[in-house]
Amino acid sequence: MTLKHLTTALAAALCVAGAGAGLAQDAVPPVQKVTAATPPPKLVVMIAVDQFSADLFAQYRSHFTGGLARLASGVVFPSGYQAHGATETCPGHSTILTGNHPAHTGIIANNFFDLSAAREDKRLYCAEDETVPGTSSRSGQYAPSVDHLMVPTLGDLMKAHDPRAQVVSVAGKDRAAIMMGGRQADELMWLAPTGLTSYRGRALSPTATQAGTAIAAAIAQSRPGLTLPADCAAHDIAIPIDKGGTVGTGRLARDGGDFRRFMASPEADGAVLAAATALRQARRLGEGEATDLLILGLSATDYIGHGVGTEGSEMCLQMLALDRELGDFFTRLDATGIDYVVALTADHGGHDMPERNRQNGWPAAERVARTLDPAAIGKAVAEKLGLPQPLFHADGPFGDMYLSKALTPAQRKTALAELVARYRAHPQVEAVVTAEELASRPISKRAADTWSLLDKLRASYNAQRSGDFIVVLKDRVTPIPESGLGYVATHGSVWDYDRRVPMLFWRKGLAGFEQPNAVMTVDILPTLAALIGLPLDMSKVDGRCLDLLSGPESSCR
């Protein structure tokens, strides 16, 4: 079974009009060049491909023939930046449709700590409501929520401006659907073992329910491996991993009911695209008086990157499948005759597992040392200074660290000095920065590729949410101590391989051009707002409008 079959089967099950259906082909007007006088598009399609780094886009660009080739013929910013320091999924998605850095969205990490929270471990998931009794921040135990997002999204602003505007958000991950969808989305959902799900207590629409049933049926079926195309043959090299087994030569086969492997395969993206197609049709998005917004979060690239790295046969299969799936999705949209604009970017970049990086010309790549385990460091420092434990809270070997509330002001000072010195002395640590250093610093107005380490961390710093100090690892140190099946590589660092993402814009009749200088994902909201004539208070955003019209005309009003 190919992915096209899955999408087609889902589309058929959902009664989605295929290419050629809907509006008659001869009713589609000839392509008119988009100018400053062209009316706004009727539908904005925002696509975030999780972990789709600028490096992956560059590597596979010449191999794309489908949807990504179409976008690459439009307006291309190959050096988009998730400019901030903590390049994780939740912060990254929070920048895309808010125009704000995590410093202002409040989404500083996937998980952060609130030492005054009622729950014992004080740890909060970025997209949960921790006040719901009986919940924890652990996967499957939290109540999904948008409450932590401190700013409105494009959809929220569109609906405030014109209540007729419809907003639909569908993603592989809850945090992608939520952080891009915002508070006012008409429908918001993500993939689950049962197909599709949403907030607790929020019923799915009949169309979403039907799509979820079809997706659940697809998950229940086993899937044979994909055929490796010739383009991917050079990637087909087995790399041993620490806990036994190899990665690199996979074909994305899985057993029936294996949801984890379903998510780490092009099937998951196909399911989101098929559901989005069905919801577009059911709600007639793009066919009303106001411009509508359809948001898609495609997560498979990220699960594959984490599970088997970015340079094996598996990622090659995924890149080519994503291109095909997006091509099919756009073909279906074309058939409706709707004037739509597509923006595609990523929540962060990524890079390969150190074992393969060392084989591919990067001998410096290594895994984080066990000596950077925060629990061990906290214990040693507390014992040395005679302070209560736990001394501080952390979500891993780097990032935000929160000193215990049990410390007196004098103890905090002593503990902070000792911890900073100890971390700084570690050979894998690039820098340790205190909240105090960041608090007084303005957010940089310079191009994101020139930002200093402090500039990056400042864009991730929020006084209410950030830790007391932040640990930055050296570049090419992968913060996973040991590779195991399903988790070999990651992102989240301040380094450009995790910050650089493509930013692509396409609309029928819009002349393409390429701008290689650095732009930012916080520029997407002002750019789209201008394109659809949505008034925007520029003092409330960190980004700027990108002019999508080549030549002297401008799409920025």
Query: In whole angstroms, how close is the CB of 50 to Zn ion at the nearest point?
Result: 4
347 touching Zn ion, by CB under 5 A: yes
The one among 302, 334, 355, 523 contacting Zn ion by CB under 5 A: 302
Residue spans of beta strands (DSSP E) within 368-409: 392-394, 399-403
Report, in Å, the least distance between residue 307 CB and Zn ion: 13
Residue nearest to Zn ion (CB): 89
Residue span binding Zn ion (CB under 5 A) among the ranges 33-41, 87-95, 137-145, 424-432? 87-95
Nearer to Zn ion, 211 or 480 (CB): 480
Place of tokens 């976008």: 71
By beta-carbon proximity to Zn ion, the closer residue of 52 and 469 is: 52
89 touching Zn ion, by CB under 5 A: yes
Stretch that binds Zn ion, among 108-116, 183-191, 258-266, 345-353 (CB under 5 A): 345-353
Q: Which of 2, 35, 87, 89 is catalytic?
A: 89
Nearer to Zn ion, 55 or 302 (CB): 302
Residues in the interface with Zn ion (CB under 5 A) total: 4
Q: At what angle do helices 154-161 and 524-531 cross, to 10 degrees?
A: 30
Of 11, 44, 50, 102, which one interacts with Zn ion (CB under 5 A)? 50
Quote the least distance from Cβ 88 to Zn ion, whole Å.
7
CA 184/CA 188 separation, integer angstroms:
9
Q: Cis before residue 390, ω within 30 degrees of 0?
A: yes
Distance CA 81, CA 517 (A): 10
Least distance CB 548 / Zn ion (angstroms): 26
We find the least distance from the C-beta atom of residue 348 to Zn ion, in angstroms, to be 5
Say whether residue 174 binds Zn ion (CB under 5 A).
Answer: no
Are 341 and 84 within 8 A, CB to CB? no
Q: Which residues contact 432 (CB under 8 A, 6 or more apart)?
A: 419, 420, 423, 424, 469, 470, 471, 472
Q: Which is nearer to Zn ion, 89 or 166 (CB)?
A: 89
E strand segments, 436-490: 469-473, 477-478
Per CB under 5 A, 498 contacts Zn ion: no
Query: Which contacts (CB < 8 Å, 24+ apart) does range 157-162 have?
Result: 157/529, 157/534, 157/536, 158/290, 158/291, 158/293, 158/532, 158/534, 159/184, 160/184, 161/534, 161/535, 162/290
> Do β-strands 500-507 and 340-345 pair in parallel, antiparallel, or remain unpaired?
antiparallel
Residue 342: name the closest of 350, 351, 333 by CA. Answer: 333
Q: Given the complex with Zn ion, which of 298 and 415 has the nearer CB atom? A: 298
Does 131 participate in catalysis according to the annotation? Answer: no
Q: How many residues does the chain have?
A: 557
Q: Which stretch binds Zn ion (CB under 5 A): 49-57, 234-242, 501-509, 523-531?
A: 49-57
Name which of 50 and 186 has its Cβ closer to Zn ion.
50
Q: Is 128 in the site for Zn ion (CB under 5 A)?
A: no
**Around Cβ 279, how many Cβ atoms within 10 Å?**
24
**The tokens of 530 are what?**
């201008």
In the bound complex, what is the minimum distance in angstroms from residue 51's beta carbon to Zn ion?
Answer: 5
* 269 versus 302: smaller Cβ distance to Zn ion: 302
Q: C-beta of 92: minimal distance to Zn ion in Å?
A: 6
Handedness of CA 344, 345, 346, 349 (dihedral sign): positive
Q: Which stretch binds Zn ion (CB under 5 A): 73-81, 251-259, 346-354, 473-481?
A: 346-354
Chain residues in the site for Zn ion (CB under 5 A):
50, 89, 302, 347
Active site residues: 89
